Amino acid sequence: MDEFALIRRFFTGLGPSLPEVIENVGDDCALLQLQPNEQLALSIDTSVADRHFPATADPWAIGWRCLAVALSDLAAMGARPVGFTLAITLPEADEAWLTEFSRGLRALADESGCPLIGGDTTRGPLTLSVQVQGVVTPEHVWRRAGAQPGQLLAVLGNLGSAAAGLRCFQEEPERLAHREDWNALEKAYLLPRPLTHEALRLMQGVAISAAIDVSDGLLADLQHLLASSAVAAELDLEQLPLHPQLLEKLGRPLALDAAQHGGDDYALLLTLDEADFPLARSLCPELKKIGIITKGAGIRTPGGELLEPQGYNHFSAQQDD
């Protein structure tokens, strides 16, 4: 199968047809039609085999996941997805692998309403770069900056599950190949669900003052939001949303540790006025209040204990890669 046959067979007609997409796979560029007063939100995420995901994982999940992690960034800005491009580097044109990979990719493209509009196909070690495009109006876009002292800190989505799921796979790598058998923690790691629809619902009805998605760990990403907003937070660890299977697998102390420091959760952290919380809850019943924004810097418990981020950082001094 040559490059162009591969693109036609696996990467054409993937996801819904949107009125914004004037040209997609097949020309030199994709073309998107924007409306006046719309801003284009762009984000790219690269997933490298055996660094961001295990190469032996179910290819359906690899397809789903490489798009999910990128869509999570659009959700974090409150942007509506309008298309994505995929730069794929493959060791070989394995038809069975590509069939499942493109099915997983298509499943999320359909579910999130985000079509594949272009890309690049090359040979080499398995690497997937997904760039997502979304639209947002400038008066509503969510940024990391904007949190105000006195506002609530809320989270949407469970914390710590993905880190525990990774551990399950490390203990039993043979489980990687069959997504039908995965437990909730394993799914949280390899089949994360970007909170696209939840973000758009909140965006319609509630004033969110700042937002970030949790990809590197709660404390690390909260710290980014706080630094951008020049504020501090009081974080109530008792309120963190922990999946029952996480508690069962790790016990409460280690589960709390995973929830604070574990990565790959793709939850959303949001700040808003207390008065808006009931409305936000009615739009997203899973939204959980986990703290309050205060003056100053850093993250403390209600008892005053300082909480330090230790999230994953590809180029931190501790990592030898």
Q: Name the site residues for ligand ADP (rule: CB under 6 A).
A: 7, 11, 25-28, 86, 88, 116, 118-121
Return the residue of 3, 50, 95, 120 that touches Mg ion, per CB under 5 A: 120
Q: Which residue is nearest to Mg ion (CB)?
A: 120
Secondary structure class of 117 (helix, strand, coil) = strand
**Part in contact with Mg ion (CB under 5 A); list of ranges 3-11, 117-125, 161-169, 292-300:** 117-125
Closest separation in Å from C-beta 128 to ligand ADP: 9
Secondary structure class of 204 (helix, strand, coil) = helix
Please work out the total of residues on this chain that contact Mg ion, with binding judged by CB under 5 A. 1
Nearer to Mg ion by Cβ, of 25 and 98: the residue is 25
Nearer to Mg ion by Cβ, of 2 and 238: the residue is 2
Closest CA to 78 of 212, 258, 245, 174: 212
Closest separation in Å from C-beta 109 to Mg ion: 21
Distance CA(299)–CA(188), nearest Å, equals 26
Looking at beta carbons, which pairs linking 300-309 to residues 24 or more positions away fall under 8 Å? 300/232, 300/233, 300/234, 300/235, 301/234, 301/235, 301/236, 301/237, 302/234, 302/236, 307/219, 307/235, 307/260, 308/219, 309/217, 309/219, 309/220, 309/222, 309/223, 309/261
Distance CA(170)–CA(186), nearest Å, equals 11
Nearer to Mg ion by Cβ, of 7 and 242: the residue is 7
Closest separation in Å from C-beta 99 to ligand ADP: 14
Nearer to Mg ion by Cβ, of 50 and 120: the residue is 120
Closest separation in Å from C-beta 2 to ligand ADP: 11
**Partner from Mg ion, ligand ADP, none contacting 98, C-beta within 5 to 8 A by type:** none
User: At what angle are helices 3-11 and 95-112 packed, to 10 degrees?
Assistant: 40
Nearer to ligand ADP by Cβ, of 122 and 282: the residue is 122
- Nearest-Å Rg of the Cα atoms of the chain is 20
CA distances from 276 to 208, 225, 273, 280, 314 (A): 9, 20, 5, 6, 37
**Partner from ligand ADP, Mg ion, none contacting 92, C-beta within 5 to 8 A by type:** none
**Partner from ligand ADP, Mg ion, none contacting 86, C-beta within 5 to 8 A by type:** ligand ADP
Nearer to ligand ADP by Cβ, of 74 and 86: the residue is 86
CA distances from 75 to 42, 69, 85, 265, 298 (A): 11, 10, 17, 14, 25
Closest CA to 234 of 164, 169, 153: 153
**Partner from Mg ion, ligand ADP, none contacting 128, C-beta within 5 to 8 A by type:** none
**Partner from ligand ADP, Mg ion, none contacting 27, C-beta within 5 to 8 A by type:** ligand ADP
**Partner from Mg ion, ligand ADP, none contacting 292, C-beta within 5 to 8 A by type:** none
**Partner from ligand ADP, Mg ion, none contacting 172, C-beta within 5 to 8 A by type:** none
Nearer to ligand ADP by Cβ, of 24 and 223: the residue is 24
Question: Do residues 29 and 118 touch, judged by C-beta distance below 8 A?
Answer: yes
Contacts with Mg ion by CB under 5 A lie at: 120
